[in-house]
Amino acid sequence: MILEVFTFILGLVIGSFLNVCIHRIPREMSIVSPPSSCPGCGAPIRPYDNIPLLSYLLLRGRCRSCGMAISVRYPLVELLNGLLYLAVMHAFGIGWHLPFQFAFASAMIVITLIDLDFQIIPDVISLPGIALGLAGASLFLPDPFGPAGGSFSASRLVGFWNSLIGAVAGFGLFYLIAVLGKAMAKTDAMGGGDLKMMAMIGAFMGWKSVLLTTFVGSLAGSIIGIVLMILRGRERKMKIPFGPFLAAGALVSLFFGGRILRWYLRGIGI
């Protein structure tokens, strides 16, 4: 129970920092300085008003100085990050792999919200993510598609070559989609940020994750796109960022990849 509480609090604290990253990275601002302040009145946020989740509830979602409403997204990001950290710990246990997987889960949150707001996936997240995935794959990162149960061993790691092939496959597959989309539709079907994000996902979880992430992301994107077309009308063109759907597919791969693969193999009689 103590470990669960500590993990959840850690997730909340990192989630508070993620809010800074989400706001500042796409605006090319430093994530270190200046300290956080109210966007309305510019008053610095005091340390006791910057306690994750709790401060928002105590202040009833408003700035102490000017009373400006604070977006509910801030505590939701903190809560989601805390819950994801708990889910990762329960799914994979305690070990040196946790910092890598925590970083991956947090990166998916940051990418999702930045892409929703600005339709970009910053290289400052995906490129270090590729390096981090390649570095951790051989020594720490368990393969979500590996055998269920058993003790933690090298045979259950993602492995360097699986990670490298995953990174190349993720980038290459989406590069091919981008080229074909531009040739057929005369428009950019895929941004460069999506390519590097998929390379990051492949580096963390191997080539199988590229396939499942692409399938889940495409399915979710198609469903949401159809719903939005029905609600808004066909005559209204809209640009839907693909990053959030890829992030959702990546988390499905992380937590359920092995089960889905085993279910699929049983279904086809293997």
Distance CA 133, CA 103 (A): 10
pLDDT of residue 150: 46
pLDDT of residue 167: 97
Cα–Cα–Cα angle for 149, 217, 204, rounded to 5 degrees: 45
Stretches where the chain sits below pLDDT 70 are: 148-155, 185-189, 233-238, 269-270
Q: What are phi and psi of 69, to 5 degrees?
A: -65, 135
Q: Are 34 and 89 in contact (CB under 8 A)?
A: no
pLDDT of residue 155: 54
Beta carbons within 10 angstroms of residue 35's beta carbon: 11
pLDDT of residue 36: 81
pLDDT of residue 264: 79
Distance CA 49, CA 52 (A): 9
Cis peptide before 244 (omega within 30 of 0): no
pLDDT of residue 270: 65
Distance CA 126, CA 200 (A): 6
pLDDT of residue 234: 54
Condensed to tens digits (0 to 9), the pLDDT of residues 45-89 reads 888 878 899 988 888 888 887 878 889 999 999 999 999 999 999
Q: Are 210 and 168 in contact (CB under 8 A)?
A: no
Distance CA 143, CA 256 (A): 11
Q: What are phi and psi of 170, to 5 degrees?
A: -60, -45
pLDDT of residue 151: 47
Helix 123-137 with 192-205: angle, nearest 10 deg: 20
Distance CA 203, CA 190 (A): 20
Q: Are 158 and 101 in contact (CB under 8 A)?
A: no
